[in-house]
Amino acid sequence: MTLAVGEAQSLAAAALASSNTRADIAASVAEALVAAEIDGQGGHGLARVPSYAAQARSGKVDGHAEPVFEQAAPAVIRVDAAHGFAYPAFDRLVADLPVLARTTGIAIATVFRSHHFGQAGRHAERLAEQGFAGFAFTNSPGAIAPWGGQRGLFGTNPIAFAAPRRNAPPLVIDLALSIGARGKIMAAQRTGEAIPEGWALDAEGNPTTDPFAALPGTMLPIGGAKGAALA
C-alpha cells in the first residue's frame, strides 16, 4: 500500500486520538513518525503507532500532558514534559531556540519526564533548516555491557548533529553508540528477519542474529572497548 504523506499522518493521528491522546498532540506525534519513515528510519516510524497507542491507553504515557517551559538561564530552556509525548515539546523548542540563539549566540534546551525521544537526527535537522548548527542527545535504558561483560548497563545514548549547507539540504549525522539501533532490532522482530552478525550478544553472552535473543541480551558498541567507554 502506498500513502501520501498527509494520508499517513492522518491515519497515525486518528489511531492515537482514538487511544486517549489529545488531537493536537496526536497530530504532532504523527508528523514526527511519518518524517522518520520518510527518512528511512522505520524503527522510529509508523511501526511505533501500535505501541504508542497502547501506552497512551494504559496510561504509561499521558496523551493529554501539556509541557511546561521554564527559562532556567539566559540561554537555557528547561521543559517538563509531564510524562507526556516528547514531540509537542520539540515542536515549540524548534521555534523558540533560534529566537534565543539570535540573542545569546547559543541556546540549549533540556527535556525531562518525557516519553520516547524518537529520531534524534530530525530534531537537529529542523534547527539546521533555519540556519543553525543543531545537536541532539538523549539517554536510554541499559543495553550495552561494559567491555567484556554480559549485562547491559550503558544506554545506546544516541547522538545527532546537523548543519546547514548552501543550496543543499542540511548535513545530518545521527548515530547510536551501539553498532545497531534498538529500533532496528525491534523492527526485525516485527518482520521476522535476522539481524546482522556483530550487532548483539544473547543473555548468555553468545553472538546472535536472532532479534528476540538480542534485546534480552546486550548490544555491541561501536569501536569495541572505546565505544563502550563512550557509552
Tens of pLDDT, residue by residue over 11-63, are 999 999 999 999 999 999 999 999 999 999 888 999 999 999 999 999 999 99
Q: Are strands 76-84 and 108-114 parallel, antiparallel or unpaired?
A: parallel
**Helix 49-58 vs helix 23-38: angle between axes, to the nearest 10 degrees?**
150
Which of 174, 86, 177 is CA-nearest to residue 134? 174
In sequence order, the 6+-apart residues with CB closer than 8 A to the CB of 132 are: 97, 98, 101, 164
Average pLDDT over the chain reads: 94
pLDDT for res 43: 85
CATH architecture of 5-58: Orthogonal Bundle (1.10)
Per residue in 148-201, pLDDT tens?
888 889 999 999 999 999 999 999 999 999 998 888 898 899 889 999 999 999
Which ranges of the chain does DSSP label H, i.e. alpha helix? 5-17, 23-38, 49-58, 87-104, 120-128, 182-191, 211-214, 225-230
Q: Give start-end residues of each CATH 3.30.1370.60 domain in the chain.
A: 136-231
What are the backbone dihedrals phi and psi of residue 33, each rounded to the nearest 5 degrees, phi first?
Answer: -65, -40
Q: Is 207 helix (H, G, I), strand (E, B) or coil?
A: strand
**Helix 5-17 vs helix 23-38: angle between axes, to the nearest 10 degrees?**
140
Which of 109, 114, 104 is CA-nearest to residue 127? 109
Q: Give the predicted TM-score (pTM) of the model.
A: 0.89
Q: Give start-end residues of each CATH 1.10.1530.10 domain in the chain.
A: 5-58
d(CA 119, CA 127): 14
Does the pLDDT value for residue 1 go beyond 80?
no
Which CATH number describes the domain made up of 136-231? 3.30.1370.60
